[in-house]
Structure 1
Amino acid sequence: MPYEVVTVKEAATKYFYIRDTERLDIVTLPSKYLMHKTRVRRSPNTIRRSAFAILYYLEYLEEKNMQITEIYGMPYDEQTEHFVNFLYWIKAGNHTKQESSPKNGTCNAYLKDVFRFYLFIEREYEQYGTLKVLSYNQIVAVNDVGVKRVLRNNAFHGYLKAEKSKGKSARQNEIVTVLQACTNCRDQLLLLLLAETGYRIGEILGIDYVKDIDYRNHVIRVYFREDNENDARAKNAEYRKAKISDDTFEFLMHYLSKYGKILQHQNYLFVNIMGSTKGKPLKVDSVYDMFDRMEKKTGIKLTPHMLRHYFANMRKKAGWRLELISQALGHKHLDTTIKYLDWIDEELVAASNEFYEKHASIFGAEKLLE
């Protein structure tokens, strides 16, 4: 591969660069963009994803014998064709040299990262102008009372049609089975907290058992921190709190007692409990490794995200308002929350029946038959 992503850690901050593997030089424009994302405090995982998206794009340009800034001089149609071809290049698996084909949504995400990179170039270097495919068509619409509204339409329409995917929710019996299959109480507590709080895995792994747990009220809080040793972060720089059940709280106290000697040397709730990294904060990759082991052992596939879906659907069944579920999950938009919920046809019909029983003859249709 002609390029590689290089990670350098200074104190608690990770820096990402793209390097030419032949000349061993740092590629200036992409690396400057990645440095910018670090300075505006994007999460390391987000910056890493952007780094690889740009790396793939550089490899695509290398095959075409083109430079990043050449694209600005292309006519609109050629620019569109260029980026559409990049999408299909990704779709064909050329970026990883593997036969497996990524999903359309993944391909689109890579291109959107590349577009963000180009927008950064445009702001930093005005002499390059702007990409024509990122320009906006503007239409000024005026409503009945004379209020003007500007409607913008992005000029690029070449994205691949994203697959309609609905996140799967874990089931209670599956959670119980996996809990029983766990070989230590740390993994069991992790599962319990994911299911009872609806927190993201990054939020769970960032919990400080000294500062973030209200032991009197059985409440666990999450805060946005940038200096977590395991790179765990609360998304959207937010603060939330969640109450756990009495049973899970008692299990939490059992865990703290059992691993007290390990935990006393730092403040992270979840740590490695054996091996050379014993006592170090647990990382996301280790959690997914645990879920993989449990799947091989039980035949049940669970993920932290499936447990978030479980949390949302159990609260819906309990009668929580959509806004309350959305707040508990830390969503910015209700549309995101709706995608988590399993609305089945029978529920919709039952809800409609209940509505019409309470609101019969809304339009007086029966009088039309007289």
Structure 2
Amino acid sequence: MKQYKVGFQKDGTVKYYFIRDVETLELCLFPTKYLTHLTRANRSPNTIRRSAFSICYYLEYLDEKEMELTDVYEMDFETQYGHFSDYLNWLKLGKHKENTEKLPDNGTCNAYLKDVFRFYLFLEMQTGQTGQLSVLSYSQMTVPNAAGVKRTLRFKSFKGYLKEEERKVRAAEKCEIVRILESCTNCRDQVLILLTSELGFRIGEVLGIDYTKDIDYENHEIRVDFRDDNENDARAKNAEERRGKISKDTFDFLLYYLSEYWDMIQKQNYLFINIKGDTAGKPMKVDSVYDMFERMEKKTGIRITPHMLRRYYANMRWEANWPLEMISQALGHKHLDTTIRYLNVLDDKLKASSNEFYSRYSSLYGIQDLLGRR
């Protein structure tokens, strides 16, 4: 049985997470203070929730080692380094979970450790701990350049993160989307899939749509608005507002959905609601969306996720010759590199463009003349 448990308490629409010792039923003071700090700092609910579990896992690890949080400060650099490297391996083996059928990937393990490191920085500020963990300090060395001018290079000491696997997320295909749409048992799920496919919004952004404010019914446009108090914890990733346009057919289907469930929808402001069970009429949450896609996978044998629909959106626009910058803006990306990773056709287009370029400028450098002189 696990020693620690994550919980939360709601104050209006705000969730305050805490970590409790299961045996004593007492709150873990500093971890709970840190989670409260994140909430008051307006960090996203998903970030706070992950931080809560990351710290909870680390407390379990310390409990197995019969250690306290502050014991690591008494370690020298190499022992500290080994301590956190062993923690990563402990996570990788799934020892933080009751069910070890599906082990976490390296990126997830690294993210958990980074959350722990952030907590330690908070702990140092709260307790007045002298200095910081050795593995979080910066090493530095002074080196001269060719002209003899010296400069100082600084770098973080801890290099023990697991090598992260490249994410192999493919774009959904049009035929798969059509098959899933045909298999849906209600128009709410169909509208959700259509909007995600045509707007390229993140699932949190889709669930955060306020049908009274965010839909331009005249121009068939839907906007992303950053709100931090959504009842269903749906939240835009970036604070920048952006808009997307949907097709006339999808807009007509959206109106049909609103009319079909108007008795429940009109009692609140969210576009997507639960339509069955004890929570009928309440705003739909992310977990419910993934549950729906899992049901569709069992029914059709086709695996689709909201992220795959975003990639479908990106690839369809790329094939329609949209500029890369426009696709990036539509997806809400801060960096073009992120957008490029979404485009599974990019390599083929680069190859084709390169072949065309070299066929037109085959003698660009006079290579044949150079070879003829040898």
Is this a same-fold pair by TM over 0.5? yes
Q: Which residue of 2 aligns with 1:335?
A: 337
Gaps of at least 5 residues in structure 2 are: none
Q: Which residue of 1 aligns with 2:35?
A: 34
Say how many residue pairs are matched.
Answer: 370
1:108 and 2:105 are equivalent in the alignment: no
**Cα distance, 1:146 vs. partner?**
11
CA distance in 1, matches of 2:156, 2:256: 55
CA distance in 1, matches of 2:272, 2:153: 48
CA 1:338–1:139: 2 relative to 1, 3 Å = farther
CA distance in 1, matches of 2:363, 2:123: 61
CA 1:150–1:230: 2 relative to 1, 3 Å = farther
1:89 and 2:90 are equivalent in the alignment: yes
Q: Which residue of 1 aligns with 2:13?
A: 12
CA 1:150–1:227: 2 relative to 1, 3 Å = farther
Q: Equivalent of 1:195, from 190, 194, 197?
A: 197
**Cα distance, 1:228 vs. partner?**
0.9
Q: Which residue of 2 aligns with 1:99?
A: 100
* Percentage of pairs with the same residue: 61
Residue type of the alignment partner of 1:46: T
CA distance in 2, matches of 1:15, 1:183: 36
> Residue by residue, what CA displacement relative to the aligned partner does 1:272-300 show, whole Å, maximum 9, x if unpaired?
12222221111111111111111111111
Task: Compare 273-282 and 186-195 and name the one that shifted more.
Answer: 273-282
CA 1:307–1:271: 2 relative to 1, 3 Å = same
CA contact (8 A) 1:198 1:308 kept: yes
Q: Which residue of 2 aligns with 1:282?
A: 284
Structure 2 counterpart SS, 1:242: strand
Structure 2 counterpart SS, 1:279: coil
**Cα distance, 1:149 vs. partner?**
7.8
**Cα distance, 1:122 vs. partner?**
2.5
CA distance in 2, matches of 1:203, 1:320: 22
CA distance in 1, matches of 2:144, 2:223: 46
Residue type of the alignment partner of 1:314: M
Q: Which residue of 1 aligns with 2:181?
A: 179
CA contact (8 A) 1:72 1:129 kept: no
CA 1:141–1:330: 2 relative to 1, 3 Å = farther
CA contact (8 A) 1:69 1:128 kept: no
Task: Compare 138-147 and 295-304 and name the one that shifted more.
Answer: 138-147
CA 1:275–1:242: 2 relative to 1, 3 Å = same
CA distance in 2, matches of 1:309, 1:194: 10
> Residue by residue, what CA displacement relative to the aligned partner does 1:252-309 show, whole Å, maximum 9, x if unpaired?
1111222222211111111112222221111111111111111111111111011011
Structure 1 counterpart SS, 2:94: coil
What is the correspondence of 1:30-179 to structure 2 with a 5 Å cutoff? Answer: 30-100=31-101, 101-138=103-140, 151-179=153-181
CA distance in 1, matches of 2:113, 2:98: 18
CA distance in 1, matches of 2:211, 2:143: 54
Residue type of the alignment partner of 2:131: G
Residue type of the alignment partner of 1:13: V
Residue type of the alignment partner of 2:38: K
Structure 2 counterpart SS, 1:237: coil
CA distance in 2, matches of 1:297, 1:110: 34
**Cα distance, 1:16 vs. partner?**
0.5
**Cα distance, 1:145 vs. partner?**
11
CA 1:97–1:280: 2 relative to 1, 3 Å = closer
CA distance in 1, matches of 2:257, 2:220: 15
CA contact (8 A) 2:6 2:18 kept: yes
> Residue by residue, what CA displacement relative to the aligned partner does 1:43-95 show, whole Å, maximum 9, x if unpaired?
11111111111001001111111111111221110000000111111111111
CA contact (8 A) 1:198 1:307 kept: yes
Structure 2 counterpart SS, 1:221: strand
CA contact (8 A) 1:72 1:128 kept: no
CA distance in 2, matches of 1:230, 1:249: 24
**Cα distance, 1:152 vs. partner?**
3.6
Structure 2 counterpart SS, 1:278: coil
TM-score normalised by the chain length of structure 1? 0.94
CA contact (8 A) 1:8 1:14 kept: yes
Deviation >6 Å, runs of 4+: 140-150
CA contact (8 A) 2:314 2:343 kept: yes
Q: CA RMSD in A?
A: 2.1
Gaps of at least 5 residues in structure 1 are: none
CA contact (8 A) 1:272 1:278 kept: yes
CA contact (8 A) 2:315 2:345 kept: no
Residue type of the alignment partner of 1:39: R
CA distance in 1, matches of 2:149, 2:273: 57
CA 1:252–1:104: 2 relative to 1, 3 Å = same
Residue type of the alignment partner of 1:78: T
CA contact (8 A) 2:226 2:235 kept: yes
CA distance in 2, matches of 1:316, 1:237: 25
CA contact (8 A) 1:166 1:340 kept: no
CA distance in 2, matches of 1:44, 1:52: 13
What is the correspondence of 1:231-250 to structure 2 with a 5 Å cutoff? Answer: 231-250=233-252
